[in-house]
Structure 1
Amino acid sequence: MAEQQLNAHPRARSVVSRSAGGVTQISDYQPRRYTIIGDHLTQHRDLSLTAIGLGAHIQSLPDGAAVDIRTLAGKFTEGRERIAAALRELEDHGYIRRIRERTPEGRIVTRTLSYNVPRTDSDRHTAEPVAEPIAEQPAPPAPEPVVRPPAAATPPPPPPSSNATPAPRPPNHRRAPPPPPAPEPTAPAPERHRTAAALLAELRRDDARLLLAERNVRRLAPGVAAWLERGAAPDAVRRTLATALPPDLRHPAALLAHRLTALLPPPLPAAEPRSRPVPLQNCDGCDRAFRASHPGLCRDCRMTSPVHGPAAA
């Protein structure tokens, strides 16, 4: 029997596939700096490629790394809108969860929980990390009581006199001013109102979170009609309402009402009346056209006329 050669070189790997096409996996051993990612993420049918790549990138980061929209947009070529949409996809499918917390200094920060296995709404409360309890340390020995001599009795304060000045009262907190009223058109225009209602109903095509109830469409339609009355194009109104939405949008109708009121454009200035050009007249002498306020003779005929110029030869 031939002796087994333990120091023989390993067999070379073939990189040529037998099939006509497709992918051939060439895997090398990586002793460090690698991340185990499940196929449920890399082959997800309902996630976009941007969301899949962003989910893999987030799972490869260490704890405490910044994954906000501004930081990710500075690292990759995708803009903030595509990164924000990808984060929403990952959050909707249970791969991440964003929690807003208040620091001891009073700042509001967002903590992102990344799951290598997607979580559902029923089991997310069991997957959140719980802070470890602080180990109890033995209490230091209590100091010996210090015996102090009794203090002299303090006489009670005298009763307040009627001429004493009363203590100033703390200032009353004024209520916040009411929000400005929603814009409304100055003149009724049924056709413009129908255009405004259709524009609000179609906002969900730009972003699914802008799905409005019918009562909200009726409430916001006068504000959109006011924009249209001031000369704003419907496409410009749609871009103003549906662009740069916050990632944690919960009340779309309130956001649209705020934008319609705060970003209301001024009315267009009145167009200056144009002066009418001098009309054309037909010359009574040569029948040529010339500009004049009244019919008569052209300049050449006036020059040769006996009345206005030298007599014809």
Structure 2
Amino acid sequence: MLLPERERYIAGYVDHLPDGAAMDIKSLAKSIPLYGQMAVGSALRALGVAGHLRHAQCRVEDRGQVRWVTRTFWSRTARDNEWWGAFMDAENNRAAQEATAPRTPLRVPTQAPAPQVGSEPQAPAPVTPAEPAAQPTTPGPVPVVPQQRTPEPAPAQPSPAFLALAQLGRIEPRLPLSAADCTALESLAAQWFTRGVDTDYLTHALTSGLPAQVGSPIGFVRRRLTDKIPPHLPTTPTPTMPRTPTRRLMAECTECGTPGHPEALPDGLCRRCRTPDPGTTSKQAMGADTEEDVHGLVAELRGMLKRP
């Protein structure tokens, strides 16, 4: 199919755009000085009818928020409606597979332990016996090898529960806990970590809504550790009813942007844009006739003024 000159020019420009470039009418009109926004919009509509492009609304999830953005798909070869419908379905299937695919956690290589210095004493070098002297000498004292000290065991690392309790006094001055207090409350705080919470959750639960003065910090923390402990969560996921997968890609009309299935948008146009309202056509025709009548009346009045 041979395209008009304007459509061929805009199609050549679009074909050389990189992936992810702006394809809206304003951006294209700003980059193509030969044609304005109306001309670019009409050209994109013609290219969509010819089978070179389709507009689609894409579902994007970012930081827990869902928004819809318009994407334009371009094909140098003209495609029919069945091909574009199969392309949209393939894109939706691929997005659904990526969303449901299990993510494999990255394995962090464990660092090999550093080689330790041997604690065994080195054997003394062999001593070559000296030649006997002419006169007998008195033997000197025998050197004694000092006994090697065994390395002291490294102190045990404190548990996450102990560390969370120890830092309460630095975060909230009304809850200063001594080392003995942290040891006494360590078992209660450890039960929180077995239920899937982290240090921030525990600290927020213990420091939020404090009274103006806390008489006994250890008693206050013990009471909160007992009363506000979170519930156990099931380890196995509860069975849920299968739901229909969400379509992440939905075709939209090239003219007005109305979303819909590809089957409902042949040639990339909705029914309203494909078959314009006959009333609108008649009104436009009446407006053209009225405009011609006005011009004719004005010409007649000017002729009358020129007469003697």
Same topology, TM > 0.5: no
Larger helix fraction of residues: 2
